[in-house]
Chain A
Amino acid sequence: MRKYLIFLMVILTVFTLARYAKFILGVDITTLLPPDISDNPSMIVAKHIFEGLIAYDSKMNIVPVLATSWEISKDGTEYTFHLRKGVKFQDGAPFNAYAVKKDFDYILTHDVAYRKKLFEPYIKSVEVVDEYTVKFVLKFPFAPFLNFLCHPAAMIVSPKAIDKYDDPSELGRHPVGTGPFKLKEWIPGEKVVLVKNENYWRKGYPKLDGIVFMPIPEGVTRVLKVQTGSADLAVNIPVMLADKLSRSKNVDVVKAPTLRVVFIGFNLKRKPFDNILVRKALNYAVDKKTLCKTIMRGLATPSDSPVSVFIKDHYATGGYPYNPKKAKELLAKAGYPNGFSVELITPKGRYPQDYETALAVQSMLEKVGVKVKVTTMEWPTYVHRLLKTDDYDMYLVGWSPSTGEAIWVLDPLLTKGSIFNLSYYYNPKFEKILNEAKRTMDPKKRHELLAEAQKIVVDDAPWIFLYNIYQIFAKSSSLKGVEVIPTELILLNNAYFQK
């Protein structure tokens, strides 16, 4: 009898010590080849298997990972990285300058890689200086290059795996990195199981024995999974349930900043939005503070720039504080004393409370005499209408730069000829400053240029600047050390369970 008891106790201790964290995603992952990932869930899983030379921390600082230090040449075309020694990939291949070169050569030469265009336009060559020194030679000076290397797409894949699988879709199924976890099992649609990498270079990490990722599309079910203790973390909690959930024991609801800015754009090709006074008037007419407080339930902060407040180069312009009286005056001055009628198109459920926000804006604009018809449609149709036609007056969109810096906001959304310039905004002065910023290596000078660029955009008001959103996720209170990167990544690389 006693023997059994001891046996049972041993089993129980092993069971409690050997713990996997259960991580609930909203949708299934697609691939685990870093440069081929275009969706957030796959990025989250990949961030546990792979590592890059450098990465963002939770405050958006650039920190060394597989590189220990780096130098940038004065003219901004050469980036030299000194690599960490003694690191091995999960298949035993050594990590060194050759591995880095092989990885980037793969990205640059292979046909299909969703994120190839993050690197191809800039990188001329990747050179091995010595075994632990690698040099990126750029085609021209490009200031945000370090930020681009923080992108999950720049995480290094084992050279042995590249030789073995070669084809991107095969490599995407057989991920081998240097990270704290390695892939054990992947059943499409059901789960992805990662186990501890016993040979991980950071001593003492990871503390978890593994992670099980499971997709559950229904928000309520995700919440209940955590509430009942059958999962440890769930992403994208419905805004409406956050309050109730935070009151339940053993569950923490975590509110974390993101780089996503939600705005309502005007089509500048159309009347009356070709008139700057009208655009400014509508900006004054929307009460962003109330939107954040009521519709978003505190899960957003008003924005006064196209760039998120959590991006290093954000500049607080002051924006357009709520002032319906001024809005009416401006409308009258623009020749619309009695307002006008327009259509606002919006997705529904793509961003938290998107449709609800559109309806609230509708009623706010009504107060200054502008009649808004809100039309919603499913996402593919919406994207089609925005990208393939110019048949719209106003549109609601959210943007989060996956590179985590300001240029990947200003450049695609607001320069002439870009497909994402949905407002058809054009200001030559703005573009000149932006181009200068791209080539300015001195961070302080660059910040000044980017601040100037943001001021110009806000002053031209091609959008109604609405808010920055937070992401909320729920986790069990015993799970500690969860790391949140504002590029919408939730990481368990340092996480552990506390009894």
Chain B
Amino acid sequence: MTRLIIRRVLLLIPTMIGVSLLIFSIMRLLPGDPAVLVAGEDATPQTIAQIRKEFHLDDPFIVQYAIFMEKLFMGDIQSIKTKQPIFEELIPRFENTLELATVSIVIAIVLGITLGVIAAAHRNSWIDNIVMATALFGVSMPVFWLGILLILLFSVQLRWFPAGGKEGFESIILPSLTIGFTLMGYIARMTRAMMVEVLTKDFIKTARSYGLPRKMIIYKYALKNVLIPIITIIGLQFGYLLGGAVLTESVFGWPGIGRYIVDAIFMRDYNVVQVGIMLVAFFFVIVNLGVDILYMLVDPRIRRRSS
């Protein structure tokens, strides 16, 4: 297992170089001049020229890339727009994103697996229908629409939670419900499908013939066997969430990394987009590594195979 982790961590290096080159080229292929956008609407041409000079925007591609990588490693890379060190702006936002992603995924897992299991256990009954309709609703609801509906209900009508921004603990509830509800749909549908399949397997029949309690069969024997695919989609979704939930962040004014990067794209703030995307890619890889480790912890067969 240690060897696997080391190998995967080493693989991160070429991955990150690839990501940085890719995003670096894409940003420079886009039309638009960061200096013009940053200088403001009625800036003079001299000001624009000065900003281009300061951020080496007139240098050849390779020189720009070298300067970027050097500054990145020295840790003194600045946003073109705010001229502040990027990490000082990025890290608080990434923490917010992490917070939102974690709460959302917890909501999604608890609701999703519970509903999925209940639906599978009562297959083709009215309970199953209701649960699956809810899951379908979650999957198909656009997040910004659901978000605004939640604001209308919980902020405008009931006045329980603030409508947006990040002010204290209660601010996270509505955005995390919005994301959690959508993800819940995926997880519930997946859980149900896998459970239904597992419940027809021979070992379940055997367990039944032994007269084991139904609850024990479902939660102890069946559920364990469907965890692998569920962990896979949870891992994937969590990885995506760490890239920021742009729409939800916008609707709720949640100061996360997604909106930060999108705003930077619209300002052509090359440095912020590059560092932001690299950070997101980095954590995506890390989450995937975490998922692989989790497989081994959950499933002894995989553990044995890899060692």
Binding site for B on A (CB under 8 A): 24, 27-28, 30-31, 36, 38-39, 111-112, 114-117, 168-169, 172-173, 187-191, 214-218, 220-222, 224-225, 227-228, 230-231, 378-381, 383-385, 387-388, 399-402, 408, 412, 418-420
A383 to B40, CA, bound (A): 11
> Is there an interface contact between A187 and B92, defined as CB atoms closer than 8 Å?
yes
> Is there an interface contact between A169 and B83, defined as CB atoms closer than 8 Å?
yes
Interface string of B246-267 (1 = CB under 8 A from A): 0000111101000110010011
Q: Which residues of A contact B33 (CB under 8 A)?
A: 380, 383-384, 387-388
Q: In the complex, what residue of chain B is closest to A33 when comparing beta carbons?
A: B83
Q: In the complex, what residue of chain B is closest to A167 when comparing beta carbons?
A: B83
Q: Which residues of B contact A419 (CB under 8 A)?
A: 45, 48
> Is there an interface contact between B37 and A383, defined as CB atoms closer than 8 Å?
yes
> Is there an interface contact between A384 and B32, defined as CB atoms closer than 8 Å?
yes
> Is there an interface contact between B39 and A189, defined as CB atoms closer than 8 Å?
no
A402 to B42, CA, bound (A): 7
Task: Give 12 new A-B contacts, CB below 8 A, not counting A115-B47, A227-B156, A412-B42.
Answer: A30-B83, A116-B47, A117-B43, A168-B83, A169-B78, A189-B96, A190-B92, A216-B165, A218-B164, A224-B151, A228-B163, A418-B45
* Distance from B102 Cβ to chain A, minimum over Cβ atoms (Å): 18
- The size class of the interface chain B forms with chain A is 35 or more
Q: Which residues of A contact B30 (CB under 8 A)?
A: 380-381
> Is there an interface contact between A380 and B156, defined as CB atoms closer than 8 Å?
no
* Distance from B58 Cβ to chain A, minimum over Cβ atoms (Å): 14
Q: Which residues of A contact B43 (CB under 8 A)?
A: 38, 114, 117
A379 to B82, CA, bound (A): 19
A44 to B47, CA, bound (A): 22
Q: In the complex, what residue of chain B is closest to A112 when comparing beta carbons?
A: B54
Task: Decide: A401 near B37, CB < 8 A? Known: A188-B93, A221-B163.
Answer: no
Residues facing A in B126-175 (CB within 8 A) are: 148, 151-152, 155-156, 159, 162-167
A284 to B184, CA, bound (A): 58
> Is there an interface contact between B163 and A225, defined as CB atoms closer than 8 Å?
yes
* Distance from A346 Cβ to chain B, minimum over Cβ atoms (Å): 16
* Distance from B159 Cβ to chain A, minimum over Cβ atoms (Å): 6
A228 to B165, CA, bound (A): 13
> Is there an interface contact between B40 and A39, defined as CB atoms closer than 8 Å?
yes
> Is there an interface contact between B259 and A217, defined as CB atoms closer than 8 Å?
yes
> Is there an interface contact between B42 and A408, defined as CB atoms closer than 8 Å?
yes
Q: Which of A114, A214, A215 has the most CB of B within 10 A?
A: A114
> Is there an interface contact between B253 and A217, defined as CB atoms closer than 8 Å?
yes
Please name the 9 residue pairs, one residue from A and one from B, whose CB atoms are nearest each other, closest first.
A380-B32, A38-B40, A216-B253, A189-B255, A221-B164, A224-B163, A117-B44, A384-B31, A169-B83
> Is there an interface contact between B78 and A225, defined as CB atoms closer than 8 Å?
no
Task: Decide: A27 near B263, CB < 8 A? Known: A217-B253, A218-B251, A224-B151.
Answer: yes
Q: Which residues of B contact A401 (CB under 8 A)?
A: 42
Q: Which residues of A contact B81 (CB under 8 A)?
A: 30
Q: Which residues of B contact A222 (CB under 8 A)?
A: 164, 253
> Is there an interface contact between A399 and B42, defined as CB atoms closer than 8 Å?
yes
Q: Which residues of B contact A412 (CB under 8 A)?
A: 42, 44
Q: Which residues of A contact B37 (CB under 8 A)?
A: 379-380, 383
> Is there an interface contact between B84 and A169, defined as CB atoms closer than 8 Å?
yes
* Distance from A418 Cβ to chain B, minimum over Cβ atoms (Å): 8
* Distance from B239 Cβ to chain A, minimum over Cβ atoms (Å): 22
* Distance from B168 Cβ to chain A, minimum over Cβ atoms (Å): 11
A-B contact pairs, 23 of them (CB 8 A): A27-B263, A28-B263, A30-B82, A31-B84, A38-B38, A38-B40, A114-B43, A188-B92, A214-B165, A216-B164, A216-B165, A217-B253, A218-B250, A221-B151, A221-B163, A222-B164, A228-B155, A380-B37, A380-B267, A383-B32, A384-B31, A387-B33, A419-B45
Does B88 touch A at the CB level, under 8 Å?
A: yes
Q: Which of A31, A168, A189, A412 has the most CB of B within 10 A?
A: A189
A419 to B38, CA, bound (A): 16
Residues facing A in B159-198 (CB within 8 A) are: 159, 162-167
Q: Which residues of B contact A387 (CB under 8 A)?
A: 33, 36
* Distance from A190 Cβ to chain B, minimum over Cβ atoms (Å): 4
Q: Which of B54, B152, B268 has the most CB of A within 10 A?
A: B268
